C-alpha cells in the first residue's frame, strides 16, 4: 500500500534547515556555466546526466547528539541546527571540546552497508555520494593524515565505514562519489583555538601566516589524494563548504582538479557554489528550480527533515512527493540527489526504508521513461481539457550510441540535448495533485500515432484520430498547428504516483 504514512506526515514540518542564513549556500560571482573542454570529462558529464536519480548520505559524530550536521560548532548561533543541544550548558570553548568527545559514543552498532546499498538499488538509484568528512573534520574512512577518524582506537566502530559503504554500493550496481568538506574546524591550520572564533571562517591572517594556510592545503589535498587512490572508481569529487574559495580562502582548486584527474581521468569535479570551470554541474540545495536550466545541474533535497535521522522512526516525506520532484527535475533538465542518513547507531529510518521500496516499485515500471532523458528547450503545448488538474511536461530520450551511452547530437559545449532528433523517444510526464493519478484528457501540439502508459495495469490510453481516419491529429482552429487529443487513465497499480507516457510519432 503506497503512501499510508503520508496522512500522518501531513502535520509534520519538513521545512529544511536555513543553510542560506548560515552562509553555507552563498554562491560566488557567476560568470556563467563553463562546459568542460576535456573530452573525457565531457563524456563523463553526459553519462552522469543519464543517471537521473542518486542518493547523498550524511553521517558523523553529530548524530550522537541528535543533529544532522556539524554546524553547531560554528559560532554564528543562528538558531536550531547551528546551536548546541538544549541540554548542553557551557561556553563555546567548552562546547567545542565536548562535541569532539562525542566520538567516543559513536557506535555504528546497527550499521549494515549491504542493506543500505540493496535498498537504494531497489529504489532505482544509480549513484551514491557519501560523506567522507563533514566540516567538523571527523573522517568516516581510514585517513593517514589525522587520528580524528572512525578507525581510531578511541572510536567504537574501529573500522573503515566509508570503504564498507562504497564497496557495498558498487556491488549493488551504483556508481559512487566522494563528498569532502573543504573546511575542517578540527585543524589548527584552519581554526586556531588560541584565538577568538567568530563564525565558520578561518580565524587568523593568512597574509601574515601563509605557511599555516599552506599546511592546511597540503593536509586537505593529501586526504583527497588518498580517497581517490585507495577507494576505487569515483564518478564525482563533490566538494562542500563553498565559502572556502579564493581570494579569502584559496583552496588551490586548479591543483585539486589536476590531482583528481591524474588519479581518475574523467572524474567530475563539483566545487559547490564556486561558479566556474571546476563546477562541472551545479547543485541547488533543498530547492527545485521552477524552470528549465540550460546547464547540467542536480537538486539535492532531503527525504527527511534534515540530512540524517535522529531516531529509527524518523518521519519522511511521502514517496509521491519524491516522485513528483523527480519528474519535475528531469523535465527541467536536472538530476535528483535524494538526501537521508542514519541515526547514531547506523540505522536508517524505517519510514525511509519503506519509502525506498515504494520508489523502487514505481521506478521498475516507469524508469524507462526517466533514465537517459533530456529536457526540451521548446516543448509542445500541453493543455488538460478534462479531469483533476495535473502538471504536464515532455522530455526526449536520445537515441543510444554504439557504446550504449547517450549519443550527443551536438557538441557538449553548445548546450546539447535541446531539440528533438530523428530516433529520439518522447515521454509525457503528469504530476497529479495529491500524489495519485486520475483520468485526464489532454490536447498536445504535434502528431502522434499512439501512446503507451508505462504505469501498465488497466491503464487506458487512446489517441483520437482525425475524422478522415488518415491521421491521428487535428488542426487548431485557424492556426494550422496540428494537435493530438489523448485520453489517459491510471491502472489499478497503486504505484501510479505520476504519469509517464511514451508518445509514438
Q: Low-confidence residues of the chain, pLDDT below 70?
A: 1-10, 17-26, 77-79, 400-419, 457-480, 493-495
Q: Which residues of 353-385 are buried (b: 16+ CB within 10 A; e: fewer)?
A: bbbbebbbbbbebbbbbbbbbbbbeebbebebe
Determine what percent of the chain falls in helix, strand and coil, rounding each to the nearest 5: 25, 20, 55
Q: Which residues lie across from 271 on neighbouring strands?
A: 239
Return the sign of the alpha-carbon dihedral for residues 78, 79, 85, 89: positive
Q: Where are the alpha helices (DSSP H) in 332-482?
A: 350-366
CA atoms within a 13 Å half-sphere pointing along the CA-CB vector of 45: 29
Dihedrals phi, psi of 445, to nearest 5 degrees: -65, 140
What is the Cα–Cα distance from 8 to 285, expressed in whole angstroms? 26
CA atoms within a 13 Å half-sphere pointing along the CA-CB vector of 53: 24
What is the Cα–Cα distance from 180 to 237, expressed in whole angstroms? 7
Query: What is the pairing mode between strands 298-302 and 499-504?
Result: unpaired
Intra-chain end-to-end CA distance of the chain, in Å: 35
Q: Which residues lie across from 23 on neighbouring strands?
A: none
Q: Say what the pLDDT of residue 79 is.
A: 65
Q: Running DSSP on this structure, what letter comes out for residue 297?
A: B
Q: Say what the pLDDT of residue 349 is.
A: 94
Query: What is the pairing mode between strands 175-181 and 127-133?
Result: parallel
pTM greater than the 0.75 cutoff: yes
For 209-267, write each residue's pLDDT tens digit.
Answer: 999 999 999 999 999 999 999 999 999 999 999 999 999 999 999 999 999 999 999 99
Amino acid at each position: 500500500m503506497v503512501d499510508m504514512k503520508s496522512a500522518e506526515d501531513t502535520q509534520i514540518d519538513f521545512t529544511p534547515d536555513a543553510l542560506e542564513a548560515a552562509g553555507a549556500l552563498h554562491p560566488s560571482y557567476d560568470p556563467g556555466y563553463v562546459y568542460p573542454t576535456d573530452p573525457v570529462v565531457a563524456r563523463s558529464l553526459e553519462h552522469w546526466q543519464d543517471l537521473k536519480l542518486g542518493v547523498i548520505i550524511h553521517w558523523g559524530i553529530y548524530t550522537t547528539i541528535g543533529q544532522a550536521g556539524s554546524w553547531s560548532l560554528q559560532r554564528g548561533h543562528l538558531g536550531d541546527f547551528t546551536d548546541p543541544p538544549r541540554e548542553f550548558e557551557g561556553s563555546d570553548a567548552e562546547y567545542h571540546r565536548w562535541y569532539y568527545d562525542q566520538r567516543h559514543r559513536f557506535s555504528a552498532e546497527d550499521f549494515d552497508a549491504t542493506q543500505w546499498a540493496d535498498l537504494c538499488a531497489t529504489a532505482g538509484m544509480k549513484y551514491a555520494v557519501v560523506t567522507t568528512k563533514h566540516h567538523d573534520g571527523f573522517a568516516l574512512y581510514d585517513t593517514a593524515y589525522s587520528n580524528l577518524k572512525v578507525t581510531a582506537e578511541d572510536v567504537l566502530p574501529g573500522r573503515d565505514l566509508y570503504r564498507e559503504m562504497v564497496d557495498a554500493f558498487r556491488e549493488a550496481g551504483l556508481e559512487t562519489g566522494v563528498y569532502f568538506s573543504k573546511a575542517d574546524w578540527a585543524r589548527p591550520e584552519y581554526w586556531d583555538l588560541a584565538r577568538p572564533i567568530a563564525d565558520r571562517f578561518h580565524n587568523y591572517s593568512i597574509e601574515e601566516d601563509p605557511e599555516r594556510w599552506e599546511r592546511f592545503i597540503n593536509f586537505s589535498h593529501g586526504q583527497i589524494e588518498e580517497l581517490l587512490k585507495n577507494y576505487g572508481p569515483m564518478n564525482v569529487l563533490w566538494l562542500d563548504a563553498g565559502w572556502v574559495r579564493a581570494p579569502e580562502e584559496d583552496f588551490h582548486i586548479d591543483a585539486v582538479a589536476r590531482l583528481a584527474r591524474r588519479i581518475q581521468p574523467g572524474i567530475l569535479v563539483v566545487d559547490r557554489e564556486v561558479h566556474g570551470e571546476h563546477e562541472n554541474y551545479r547543485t541547488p540545495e533543498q530547492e527545485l528550480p521552477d524552470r528549465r536550466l540550460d546547464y547540467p545541474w542536480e537538486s539535492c533535497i532531503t527525504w527527511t527533515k534534515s540530512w540524517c535521522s535522529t531516531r529509527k522512526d524518523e518521519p519522511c516525506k511521502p514517496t509521491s512527493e519524491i516522485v513528483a520532484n523527480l519528474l519535475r527535475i528531469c523535465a527541467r533538465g536536472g538530476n535528483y540527489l535524494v538526501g537521508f542518513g542514519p541515526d547514531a547507531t547506523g540505522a536508517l529510518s524505517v519510514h525511509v526504508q519503506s519509502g525506498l521500496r515504494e520508489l523502487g516499485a514505481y521506478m521498475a515500471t516507469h524508469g524507462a521513461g526517466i533514465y537517459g532523458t533530456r529536457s526540451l528547450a521548446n516543448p509542445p503545448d500541453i493543455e488538460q481539457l478534462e479531469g483533476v488538474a495535473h502538471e504536464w511536461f515532455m522530455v526526449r530520450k536520445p537515441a543510444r550510441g554504439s557504446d550504449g551511452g547517450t549519443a550527443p547530437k551536438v557538441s557538449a559545449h553548445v548546450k546539447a540535448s535541446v531539440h528533438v532528433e530523428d530516433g529520439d523517444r518522447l515521454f509525457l510526464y503528469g504530476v497529479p495533485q495529491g500524489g495519485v493519478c486520475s483520468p485526464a484528457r489532454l490536447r498536445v501540439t504535434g502528431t502522434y500515432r499512439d501512446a503507451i502508459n508505462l504505469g501498465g495495469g488497466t491503464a487506458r490510453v487512446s489517441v483520437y484520430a482525425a475524422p478522415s481516419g488518415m491521421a491521428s491529429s487535428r488542426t487548431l482552429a485557424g492556426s494550422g498547428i496540428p494537435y493530438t487529443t489523448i485520453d489517459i487513465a491510471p491502472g489499478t497499480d497503486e504505484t501510479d504516483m505520476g504519469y509517464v507516457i511514451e508518445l509514438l510519432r
